[in-house]
Amino acid sequence: MKIIIHIPRQTLELLDDSGNLLRRYLVSTGANGVGEENGSFCTPRGKHYIRAKIGAGQPENSVFVKRRPTGEIYTPDLGAKHLQRDWILTRILWLCGKELGYNRMGSCDTMRRYIYIHGTPESTVAGKPGSHGCIRMHTKDLLELFDLVSAGTEVEVTA
């Protein structure tokens, strides 16, 4: 399996080992565009892999902070009470860069930047940049993807 994230199209594609398309989802990547530097709030390009799968068994719309469930379940009312929060919901696929000096190690390290594929409120627009650098997906799409991939799955981000 392999995941390809197409920044211009704001899509995530899941391919089988022969390169055949299995699934295509709309996503939302960095509102600041692409870039690898820590603090840029950009989505990092290049070759990555899923370092960890987090949240298996948690209820839909579980809220995560620092990769830990808070016990909260996101609702529009909760969202309205905390307008400044960057919601990380349901599941997390934590990415790690594979290219030394580009997206791994130093000030460009994807893993140390805490770049994830994660859930987002259903009210968040998919297909348009808007994240702080992560790849956001709607709940049903993320749940499906989470069950289809494993830690170690290759992820390529193309711009």
Any residues with CB less than 8 A from the CB of 50 and at least 6 apart, and which?
A: 3, 93, 94, 95, 96, 117, 149, 150, 151, 152, 153, 155
* 12-64: pLDDT as tens digits: 999 999 999 999 999 999 999 999 999 999 999 999 999 999 999 999 999 99
Q: For the residues of 127-157, what is the DSSP string, one character each? A: SS--BSSSEEE-HHHHHHHHHH--TT-EEEE
Query: Domain 2-158 is of which CATH architecture?
Result: Beta Barrel (2.40)
CA dist list (Å): 120 to 94, 98, 102, 154: 15, 26, 27, 22
- Put simply, whether the predicted model's pTM sits higher than 0.85 gets the answer yes
Sorted by where each begins, the domain ranges of the chain are 2-158
